[in-house]
Chains A and B, each alone.
Chain A
């Protein structure tokens, strides 16, 4: 495994110039993600309507992997139903953990492909948490609503 396989251009690009990187003034849901091991902090903001992710954004500071993962996550989650978002999370989580990937429904396959550049982290067990921090925060935001909550990964 070469470092270049982990730090592909798309990761470096999203790490440098994250998309949807801003706070949301009145999110319907939000949560903080914190990796106490490395100090990375991220806040995920959601606007849910009719069971769909109408808008999603994030802010915070972290390594290239966690920033790029959050950025790519916001891109694929926009417009998804909660069931679709959950299916993507489960598949992505399995991919970076190196476990068996559950079948991805046909309409989600393009989105799952867009997350593929992060697959390289599975060769770096110490970095898997970086790639999943935003997703865990997303999941926590869904549960905590507009009250907010903090999820810690370590």
Chain B
């Protein structure tokens, strides 16, 4: 573990020291990276862990009786334990490794949804959702004929809780909602939404992609039924993510992909399946990804999740202050609490032109619809520019962003 992470465990952390844990910044000096909501950079400990695993311990899991395979299987299952602890799941078997949050949601849709939803049932999502929590439900809806309802945002850009409550009824079987809107940075009161869902007998799925890297998540305290996150947004490798599901639910769910490792016995007449989590992990999994993710979770916890949340909140407040003082810069509404993500527009400068000019100033931001087209339509925006923070950012990055925005404004001034 790095020096920065160790010192961070005591009292906050110094983002400048943290930055030195990330080789990308040594190799690209001067880059102002404000796109962690799309994907976070990787600390050396994660990069080295993946590389060391391939160099020293690699073999397929669960198959070989030889020592390397035993070792590899052990490391893979240790990674599952690590993810379970990270989310405070009751049992490691509640952690299913998937490619990312998108695959996690698809798993729930095609396994739980296909087995449990029928015409007349309702699934509730919100206007803040990423396409990953919209499109899978639509595909299954078109096949089965259940109703997909959408809880709207209010004028402030937050979920209209009164309307949301009114949309949960006896036909509602699932409420699937983001914890932190990727396109606007609106923090969603998921605790209350989960309670409302359960009160009407519906399940709750939480998309934790943006929240899990930024704050403490305790799935037992939340009492959510499913929770998903992507490893690559957690300073971990790409291609690995986690679906948490309550054990009793997972045990009743049918497999969604068939193949090796997920079976007990196969004949051409009949196949019996493994218990969760193996039932849902057909084929050779992303072994190195899971092990790298475990190291990333170690890194996050060494910095301290409360310290990270405080850091993100400070940067967000600072960013709001800087951007809202700039003439012509408008923050996209994000409800009662904006966290870790600033989505904005600049009068007279299209987001794509802005992003190109920011890039010339070495400021990396995302421009576009952020895979949330329905939300953009609702906000009557074709696109926004989005700056999002990670543990390696500090106030100077926001000052650089502001300076680059000013340069764009000068260029585009009439």
Binding site for B on A (CB under 8 A): 2-4, 6-7, 12, 15-16, 37-41, 61-65, 124, 126-127, 130
Q: Are A39 and B411 in contact (CB under 8 A)?
A: no
A125 to B283, CA, bound (A): 37
A40 to B351, CA, bound (A): 11
Q: How large is the interface on B (under 10, 10 to 19, 20 to 34, 35 or more residues)?
A: 10 to 19
Selected from A12, A16, A38, the residue in CB contact (under 8 A) with B352 is A38
B376 within 8 A of A: yes
Q: Are B360 and A39 in contact (CB under 8 A)?
A: no
B368 within 8 A of A: yes
Q: Are B357 and A39 in contact (CB under 8 A)?
A: no
Selected from A6, A64, A124, the residue in CB contact (under 8 A) with B350 is A64
Q: 5 A-B residue contacts at CB 8 Å?
A: A3-B360, A16-B414, A38-B367, A39-B368, A65-B353
Q: Are A7 and B411 in contact (CB under 8 A)?
A: yes
A35 to B373, CA, bound (A): 12
Q: Are B352 and A130 in contact (CB under 8 A)?
A: yes
B412 within 8 A of A: yes
Q: Are B382 and A61 in contact (CB under 8 A)?
A: yes
A8 to B382, CA, bound (A): 24
Binding site for A on B (CB under 8 A): 349-353, 356-357, 360, 367-369, 373, 376, 382-383, 411-412, 414
Cβ contacts under 8 Å, A7 to chain B: 353, 357, 411-412
Cβ contacts under 8 Å, B412 to chain A: 7, 12, 16, 64
Interface centre among B351, B352, B373, B383 (most CB of A within 10 A): B352
A38 to B352, CA, bound (A): 7
Selected from B349, B351, B411, the residue in CB contact (under 8 A) with A38 is B351
Q: Are B411 and A63 in contact (CB under 8 A)?
A: no
Q: Are B353 and A40 in contact (CB under 8 A)?
A: no
Q: Are B353 and A39 in contact (CB under 8 A)?
A: no
Chain A min CB distance to B368 (Å): 5
Q: Are B382 and A3 in contact (CB under 8 A)?
A: no
Q: A38-B382, A39-B383 are in contact. Are A64 and B369 (CB under 8 A)?
A: no
Q: Are B382 and A64 in contact (CB under 8 A)?
A: no
Q: A12-B411, A39-B368 are in contact. Are A62 and B350 (CB under 8 A)?
A: yes
Cβ contacts under 8 Å, B353 to chain A: 7, 15, 63-65
Interface centre among A2, A6, A63 (most CB of B within 10 A): A63
A64 to B348, CA, bound (A): 10
Q: A7-B411, A16-B414, A61-B382 are in contact. Are A39 and B356 (CB under 8 A)?
A: no
